[in-house]
Amino acid sequence: MPTPQTTDDSSIEQVLPTESTSPQWSPSIIDLELLHHFCTSTYKTLSARDDVQRMWQLAVPKYAWGRSFLLHALIGVSALHMVTEMDPAKDRKPYAEAAVQHLDHVLEEYRSGLDEITPENCSALFICSSLMVVFSFGYALCGLPRSEKDKTTIDEITDIFFLLRGSQAVIDVAWPWLQKSDLKVMLTGFNMDTKVVLPAEAEASFQRLREYNSLDRLDAEDQQVYETAIEVLHDLYTRVIPEWSDKALVHSWIMGVETSYIQFLLDRRPLALAILAHYAALMLTVSDHWWAGRWSEQLVADISQAIGAEDQHLICWPLKAVREPGNVFG
């Protein structure tokens, strides 16, 4: 389904509230501006696929009018996108404040919805989790004040892991429902048969991770957690790096790792950090998106600072990848 090159007011009219679905709050002038911005600009940045872009442009705003937490998420992401596009000399404060305020309205209702996933709310919950990931990645890059000044990108991406666990929870419960919804186009392409061979240096780097994981000093249960994280990421590389692939797949690894692995990151375990550095290198495939930017470079730098000198060999290739991004995948 092709995406139109221009968008007229008809796309906005399709998402204006009706008496039965209007939200419990009254949108401001800035909110309406940001809704328009989402329907005419932001939606294009959430996928490279025409059919998925169309879903974001038309289906998602219509879902949002029935779920206030999703409407807040949509407008918040649009506000953040607006901030990143604006001339720094202009006053970005109203839009930055709108982004944060809308995020504050999202989380409580979203989290309570995860406690009872139903056919009626599963689509809104799944879309909201995806928007929150975009928001979290984008917020760290746009120069807005951080709530915790000493927070590193390792801490920030760990937060994103927890956000995407919510998305995985929705998929686990609601997959049959989602497959019958307007979101089904977003869920295709995850099981592509065609794979590619990684460049020799990247393959060798993954082999170093496997060898480190085989050391006797690691607990057998921990080794299994690491093995899953390594192999799923390796497989994802073969599916994402082709030019024709759907780069939105890059987030799927975060959804699939075990909770124990996230705890290993919180504990700053060397192998967990080294695996994360390889994920950061894969994020180079989406670095041209406004919400991704220099995430790869900063994340690998923070990991290099956190990892001991004796384990730096585990991240030699990710360090080279972010320094020479044009030569990453051969």
Say if residue 249 is in the same domain as residue 144: no
Answer yes or no: is 5 within a domain. no
Nearest to 183 by CA among 299, 92, 58: 58
Looking at the fold, whether 176 and 55 belong to one and the same domain comes out as: yes
- Domain identity same for 25 and 168: yes
Q: DSSP label at 221?
A: H
Domain boundary among 152, 181, 210: 181
What is the domain count for the chain? 2
| Structure-token pair, residue 90 | 């202009």
Burial class (CB in 10 A: 0-12, 13-18, 19+), 18: exposed
Q: What is the pTM of this model?
A: 0.84
Exposure letters 117-145 (e unless 16+ CB within 10 A, then b): beeebbbbbbbbbbbbbbbbbbbbbbebe
Residue 191 has pLDDT above 90, yes or no: no
Q: Are residues 36 and 176 in the same domain?
A: yes
Domain assignment present for 232: yes
**pLDDT category of residue 320 using cuts at 50, 70 and 90:** very high
For range 113-127, the mean pLDDT: 91
**For residue 13, what pLDDT band results from cuts at 50, 70 and 90?**
very low
Instruction: Calculate ∠ Cα 296-297-300, nearest 5°.
Output: 80
Q: What is the mean pLDDT of residues 113-124?
A: 91
- Cβ contact 45:102 at 8 Å: no
| Cα distance between residue 269 and residue 265, in whole Å | 6
Closest CA to 185 of 110, 135, 246: 246
- 177/205 same-domain check: no
Does position 311 have pLDDT exceeding 90, yes or no? Answer: yes
Query: How many CA within 13 A on the CB side of residue 324?
Result: 7
- The per-residue pLDDT for 5 is 38
- At residue 194, the pLDDT reads 58
> For position 103, what pLDDT does the model report?
87
Distance of CA 164 to the CA centre of its chain: 8
Output phi, psi for 291, to 5 deg: -90, -5
Q: Is the pLDDT of residue 145 over 60?
A: no
Residue-averaged pLDDT of the chain: 84
251 and 165 in one domain? no
For tokens 């299994």, what's the residue? 224
Based on the fold, state whether residues 36 and 107 are members of the same structural domain. Answer: yes
Three-state DSSP at 330 gives coil
Residues 42 and 88 in one domain: yes
Q: Is residue 311 part of a domain?
A: yes
Same domain, 19 and 166: yes
270 lies in some domain: yes
Q: What is the pLDDT of residue 6?
A: 40
DSSP assigned state of 44 = G
**Residues 147 and 44 reside in one and the same domain:** yes
Rounded to 10 degrees, the C-alpha dihedral 276/277/280/284 comes to -150
Residues 170 and 268 in one domain: no
Q: Are residues 162 and 17 in the same domain?
A: yes
* Domain region containing 67: 10-181
Average pLDDT over residues 199-213: 96
SS3 assignment, position 137: helix
For residues 70 and 23, what is the distance between their CA atoms, to the nearest angstrom? 11
